[in-house]
Amino acid sequence: MRYLVATDSVHTTAAACDYLEPRLDPDDEVAVLTVVAPNDDAAGADGAPGSPSSNRDAGDAANVAAARLAGRATVETLLREGEPAGTVRSVGDERDADVVLVGVHGGRPGAGPGLGSVARSVLEGADRPVVVLPLPSLGGNGEGA
């Protein structure tokens, strides 16, 4: 099996690892994809795409997957620039992913419990199975995932 994990945070990656760990075989491939907006110099330190903290989050998310899935499958991390949902679909095609995993919404504190715009767009344009991962309560606004 070939899995594509689209992530924007350690929370989403941890949820993906929780889902994948009991399902993986050593021959499986897991590509962990983080998408950032290209040259977004206006982004602040609040985790917005393209900001330094967003790029740090991408590295942290990749480290979580590499550590948790080591020895269970082949794990590759990818960092791409572009519009998130379109990039997820494009990489899914490139990798011929059997399944795409996305978080229900952005994995940042304060995110509401509803389906986020990227997850919704990936689902609406899907040509392969998409698993929408529940995320733990992240606090910030009193709502959980």
pLDDT: which is higher, 107 or 125:
125
For residue 131, the 8-state DSSP code is E
Decide which of 37 and 78 is more confident: 78
Q: Measuring CA to CA, how many Å separate 109 from each of 72, 77, 93, 124, 145? A: 30, 24, 31, 25, 10
Q: Which two tokens stand for residue 14?
A: 């941890």
- Can you give 49-67 as a three-state secondary structure string? CCCHHHHHHHHHHHHHHHH
Is the pLDDT at 145 greater than 50? The verdict is no
What tokens appear for 129 in the block?
Answer: 């199975």
SS3 110: coil
The pTM for the full model equals 0.82
Answer whether residue 140 shows pLDDT above 90.
no
Is the predicted pLDDT of residue 132 greater than 50, yes or no?
Answer: yes
Q: What is the pLDDT of residues 2-48, one digit of tens each?
A: 999 999 888 899 999 999 999 999 999 999 999 987 765 444 444 44
Distance of CA 10 to the CA centre of its chain: 9
Neighbours of 67 (CB within 10 A): 10
